[in-house]
Chain A
């Protein structure tokens, strides 16, 4: 149980285009989903927290107009990188939590974004 999927696993896009990454909890309802970014050989940095049905909370330094997050249902959150640039190239990982006092986060397999 507690499986989280991400789609796509890899994406290459041209500079200036937008890319949408999906995060799904497959066998549980995720009240809260988290989006992380990881640069090569570095740790995960939390970008934002999204709760189902409400606006995402962004960490300091993360542009909310650049990284659009939608958490429209209890099993799906999306991250859209708008007007992507090469510096947005990174590994994006989502996690999902059942919330309600249960803090364990289940991580997706990640999405490798390359902007050319």
Chain B
């Protein structure tokens, strides 16, 4: 069943601005991952953060994890038109099955 909830559902920003989206989950996790999906396409893995990590960076991406609040955030800095996509968080528990959040649709305006 879906565990992650994301907000906002949709986000529209100007190119060059930062985009922040949040994910909350309900039960204990091993890891939390963020994926990007362009319209009608498969998922692209962006970043994985383990339950014992608090922050992780990858290029223009910054992910934080607060296990006490059961929440994570994804920050995309200096956004580009190519960042327009839906972003999903996914958590995995004991059986390593992924449970996806509802997703945040990001539109970057040129």
Closest chain-B Cβ to A39's Cβ sits at a distance in Å of: 12
By the criterion of a CB under 8 Å from any partner CB, how many residues of chain A are at the interface? 22
Contact B45 A107 (CB under 8 A): yes
Within 8 Å of chain A (Cβ to Cβ): is B88? yes
Can you list 17 A-B contacts with CB-CB less than 8 angstroms, sorted by A residue number? A6-B42, A34-B98, A43-B2, A43-B88, A43-B101, A44-B88, A45-B100, A93-B42, A97-B96, A103-B30, A103-B31, A105-B98, A107-B44, A109-B41, A109-B42, A110-B40, A110-B41
Closest chain-A Cβ to B67's Cβ sits at a distance in Å of: 17
Complex alpha-carbon distance, A41 and B86, angstroms: 9
Q: Which of A43, A108, A112 contacts B40 (CB 8 A)?
A: A112
Q: Which of B42, B88, B97 contacts A108 (CB 8 A)?
A: B42
* Chain B residues within 8 Å of A, Cβ to Cβ: 2, 30-31, 33, 35, 40-45, 48, 88, 92, 96-103, 105
Contact A104 B48 (CB under 8 A): yes
Q: Give the chain A neighbours of B101 by CB distance below 8 A.
A: 43
Q: Give the chain A neighbours of B92 by CB distance below 8 A.
A: 103
Closest chain-B Cβ to A98's Cβ sits at a distance in Å of: 11
